[in-house]
Amino acid sequence: MTRVFPLVLAAGVTLLSTASALLLLGYLSQVRQPMGVVRDALIIETARSQENVASIASLKQFAGIDNSPRAHELTQVADTLQHRLRTLAGTATRLPTSQRDSVVGYLQRAEHSINLIAPSPLSDTTADITDTLPGLASTIDELAIYLMETESHQRKLDRRLALVATVLTALVLMVGMVLFVALLRLERHSNALRYLAMTDDLTQLYNRRQWLDQAPHLLALRRPADSPVALMLLDLDNFKRINDGYGHPTGDKVLKSFGEMLKRVARRSDLAARLGGDEFALLMPQADARNAETVGERIRHETEHFDLTQPAGGANLTVSIGIAVSSHADDDFSTLYRRADQALYQAKHQGRNCIRLG
């Protein structure tokens, strides 16, 4: 659990950073889109209002002729313009506060002017139209210019925001990836340190501390509970002669070769270790006395026939082995170890290069 946590944390941070950046881009896009639609609608309606003002200008010469079709058309155009200004006012409420206030100010001025243009009766409005129409046209034109400038400014701002969001997304992704790589390296370094703490540098077998920590658990968790477990303790005979006669580097090579042989002979489920010096151990789940003796004999035979021409100049190497087997659910590791140690003691004092059962 603790080994995968840094990787899970790194992956989670990277995914969270990526999701946050994408959400930011999506939010900016969703925010800009409605505002763009609102401004486009205002610009379109303002352009139509300008057309209405132009129509009023062309019809104003008939405004004083009662019941003239052009007079009635003027009334209809004025009503349409008035309705359009109200529509613009409603649409403007969706703008940001500063833009909304400016647009509403233009619309209020235009509304005031249109109210002067479209009173009843029409026969009395010619002078009012002549005086009011230029102001109305100017107000609508100013509104159109304001909206176009606002749209242009907003598009520039949108491009800058998009650039900032893109750069921010890239930075977030970069930071996430850097963090992921850093945590991955930290995990690898941690695994390397953990491996060094668990293994013997020379033979790459479990060291004494790790083996003594793992072996009792392996014994306690065996299934079924009364299945046999064999413990083998091994001690190289007269190894001190090799160290003294050929030097410790040569002794280290012999120990390394013995450790490689022990790993090769051991099954995948076995727990092999160098306990220290020339002492080794092998815990064998699901192995009775016969199985253990077979494996022990193979180890003894291969050790006896080691080719020590290099590095030890042809010196002889043998190993003494003590074996204890547990087949009872209530057997504990300390008892099993003590029996195997006693068997090893017998092998060492009964001629060496042999196997004894405890």
Enter the CATH code of domain 208-357: 3.30.70.270
pLDDT tens for each residue of 7-25:
566 566 666 666 666 666 6
At residue 262, the pLDDT reads 95
0.75 exceeded by pTM: no
5-177, which class in CATH? mainly alpha
Q: Averaged over 295-318, what is the pLDDT? A: 81
Hey, which of 13-17, 36-40, 165-169 has the most confident mean pLDDT? 165-169
φ, ψ at 314 (rounded to 5°): 85, 10
Q: How far apart are CA 187 and CA 191, in angstroms?
A: 6
Burial class (CB in 10 A: 0-12, 13-18, 19+), 188: exposed
Whether 117 has a pLDDT exceeding 70, the answer reads no
Please name which of 221, 218, 200, 212 lies closest in space to residue 263, comparing C-alpha atoms: 200
Q: Round to whole Å and give the CA distance between 163 and 168.
A: 8
Whole-number pLDDT of residue 123: 44
Listed in order, the ranges of the chain carrying CATH 3.30.70.270 are: 208-357
- What does the pLDDT look like over 127-152, one tens digit per residue? 455 666 777 778 778 877 877 887 78
* Lowest mean per-residue pLDDT among 65-74, 243-252, 254-263, 347-356: 65-74
Mean pLDDT taken over the chain: 79
Bridge partners of 223?
none
The pLDDT confidence band at residue 314, using thresholds 50, 70 and 90, is low
Q: Is the pLDDT of residue 331 over 80?
A: no
> What pLDDT sits at residue 30?
52
Note the pLDDT tens digit of each residue in 254-287.
999 999 999 999 999 899 999 999 999 999 999 9
> Where are the CATH 1.20.1420 domain residues in the chain?
5-177
Percentage of the chain exceeding pLDDT 90: 28
Q: What is the rounded average pLDDT of the residues 223-242?
A: 89
5-59 helix and 97-117 helix, angle to the nearest 10 degrees: 20
Tell me whether residue 278 is one of the annotated catalytic residues.
yes
DSSP single-letter state for residue 231: E
> Is 60 exceeded by the pLDDT of residue 175?
yes
- Residue found by looking up tokens 């790194």 in the block: 10
Closest CA to 49 of 121, 117, 101: 117
Phi, psi angle pair for 75, to nearest 5°: -60, -40
Residue 297 pLDDT class (50, 70, 90 cuts): very high
Cβ-proximal residues to 312 (8 Å cutoff; 6+ apart), any chain: 242, 245, 246, 250, 253, 254
Residue 101's pLDDT is what? 84
* Catalytic, out of 278, 307, 330, 341: 278
Among 157-171, 188-202, 324-338, name the one with the lowest average pLDDT: 157-171
CB-count burial class (<10 Å; 0-12, 13-18, 19+) for 33? exposed
